[in-house]
Chains A and B, each alone.
Chain A
Amino acid sequence: MVQIITTRENEIIEKKIKGISLSQNESNILSKTVRPKLIEIKKINAESILNKIEYNQKSKSIEDKIKKIVLENIDGVKAIIVCGSAIQTNYKEYNDIDVIVVTKKILTENKMEKKRLIWKIEDIAKKEGLILDIQIYAEESILLQYPHSPSLIYQLKDSKVIYGKIKIPNEINLSSMDLRMKLDWSDIVDAYSTSNEIYHALRNIMLVLLLMNKRVDNYELSNGLINLFGADFVSRLKNNKASKGERKIALNYIRNMSYYLSDELRTDKKWGKIEISNQ
């Protein structure tokens, strides 16, 4: 069996917990070995990592299908990236598969033409049994946007390049302006919005809050909402099944948090520049 905390270290922990005085040597072990180990363990989300590394025979066939469909329909593809819940759950639990296609050059300046291409590929994929949500970026554009785009930062955190190569910058340089702009997406919901729209506005608030704490962790993003409102409440919002009262509670939270965060970002100089290492 692999031992992370040795028997000797365990004995020292027990002694400390029980209030038994430690020798100088034991105190040193506690501060130089045991504490650093526990701090590192705390950072790891073992369940999520186990999920991701578990072999799933479906993944290769899904990724091969995505590659084939994209490469047959888009010229000059630099990389194909899969992200979102499909990657986070190793293709076990997802509604659709988020795909980012990075092209060597800008495909077209015509937005409608780009939309039509995306719809065409999504339709082809549907016939193959895959529900895709495709975004297309030129390489230069995604690299320029990435360090300032909260959504891209989170999307690419848990992602897999299934074709080609792309070097995502290690340093994230967000400014208060980037986060305030992101917060504005939460202001478009109101009493007439669907539960799912409210869910996305809530998630948006949580994302900004985590980035202010220099956290880029999709697991924390999902669980932050569950810890606040409970799993059933969040699930009803996400699946458009929340009651009027529940929607009202979520909307009140969104309004208060949006106001508070926006004010904090605007008035406190410390948010002028938020540097996060994306290692």
Chain B
Amino acid sequence: MGKNRDIKSVVVLLVNTVVHEIVAKHTNRPESKPFLEAEVVEYRSQTEKVAEMYNWNQADRNYIKEEAIKDVNKVLFSKYPDVSFPLKEVEDCVDEEIKKLKL
């Protein structure tokens, strides 16, 4: 389908991984945690599938990080305003996920 298209898929999936990770960590419903954590694993595995199709260069990694941070914040504020979290955590989580994905 092309690298340009797949880089966008990586961003979307990475965003969902991080959003779910943050929500799982800060939700006030501890009983939902096992399910939310399982969802994180599922999104991460989907992201890996797309990510391992290419060799990503530094410019790609920068683009993915920048877009992901922007979109995670957007999704968390619009869809999960009831979840409060430290802003710095978004960047840390995105960095951590990029490391795990070995981009």
Q: For B63, what are the chain A residues with a Cβ–Cβ distance below 8 Å?
A: none
Which chain A positions have C-beta within 8 A of B8?
190
Q: Are A148 and B31 in contact (CB under 8 A)?
A: yes
Interface residues of B in 11-69 (CB under 8 A from A): 12-13, 16, 19-20, 23, 27, 29, 31-32, 34-36, 38-39, 41, 45-46
Bound together, the chains give a CA A187 to CA B74 distance in angstroms of 14
A192 to B2, CA, bound (A): 11
Of A3-11, A18-26, A173-181, the stretch lying at the interface with chain B is A173-181
Docked Cα-Cα span, A149 to B39, in Å, equals 9
A184 in contact (CB, < 8 A): yes
- CB of A188 within 8 A of chain B? yes
Chain A, 107-149, CB within 8 A of any chain B CB: 111, 141, 144-145, 147-149
A248 at the B interface (CB under 8 A): no
How many residues of A are counted as interface, with CB atoms below 8 angstroms from the partner's CB atoms?
A: 21
Q: Are A145 and B35 in contact (CB under 8 A)?
A: yes
- Contact partner of A184 (CB less than 8 A), chosen from B5, B20, B41, is B20
Which residues of A lie under 8 Å from residue B35 when comparing CB positions? 144-145, 148-149, 178, 181
Residues of B within 8 Å of A, CB-based: how many?
A: 26
> Is A262 at the interface (CB under 8 A from chain B)?
yes
A residues less than 8 Å from B81 (CB atoms):
266
Interface membership of B80, Cβ < 8 A = yes
| Cβ 8 A contact of B29, one of A145, A177, A185, A188 | A177
Contacts of A149 in B (CB 8 A): 35, 38
Residues of A near B41 (CB, < 8 A) are 111
Contact A180 B79 (CB under 8 A): yes
By the criterion CB–CB under 8 Å, are A188 and B16 in contact?
A: yes
Q: Does B1 interact with chain A (Cβ within 8 Å)?
A: yes
| Nearest-neighbor residue (CB-CB) of A182 within chain B | B39
Instruction: Determine the distance from Cα of A230 to Cα of B36 in the docked complex, in whole angstroms.
Output: 34
Residues of B contacting A262 in the complex (Cβ-Cβ under 8 angstroms): 79
Question: A266 CB to closest chain B CB, in angstroms?
Answer: 7
Q: Which of A178, A181, A188, A266 contacts B12 (CB 8 A)?
A: A188
**Please, which residues of chain B bring their CB within 8 A of the CB of A192?**
1, 5, 9
B23 touches A181 (CB 8 A): yes
Check if B89 is an interface residue, CB within 8 A of chain A. Answer: no
Residue B92 interfacial (CB < 8 Å): no
* Distance, CA A192 to CA B3, complexed state (A): 13
Return the contact of A141 from the options B20, B27, B34, B45 (Cβ within 8 A).
Answer: B34
17 A-B interface contacts by CB (under 8 A): A144-B34, A144-B35, A148-B31, A175-B32, A178-B36, A181-B20, A181-B23, A184-B20, A184-B79, A185-B16, A188-B46, A190-B12, A192-B1, A192-B9, A262-B79, A266-B81, A266-B82
Residue ranges of A at the interface with B (Cβ–Cβ < 8 Å): 111, 141, 144-145, 147-149, 173, 175, 177-178, 180-181, 184-185, 187-188, 190, 192, 262, 266
9 closest A-B pairs by beta carbon, nearest first, are: A148-B35, A144-B34, A149-B35, A145-B35, A148-B32, A145-B34, A175-B29, A188-B12, A192-B5
Additional A-B contacts beyond A141-B38, A177-B80, A184-B20 (8; CB < 8 A):
A144-B35, A145-B35, A148-B32, A175-B29, A181-B35, A187-B12, A192-B1, A192-B5
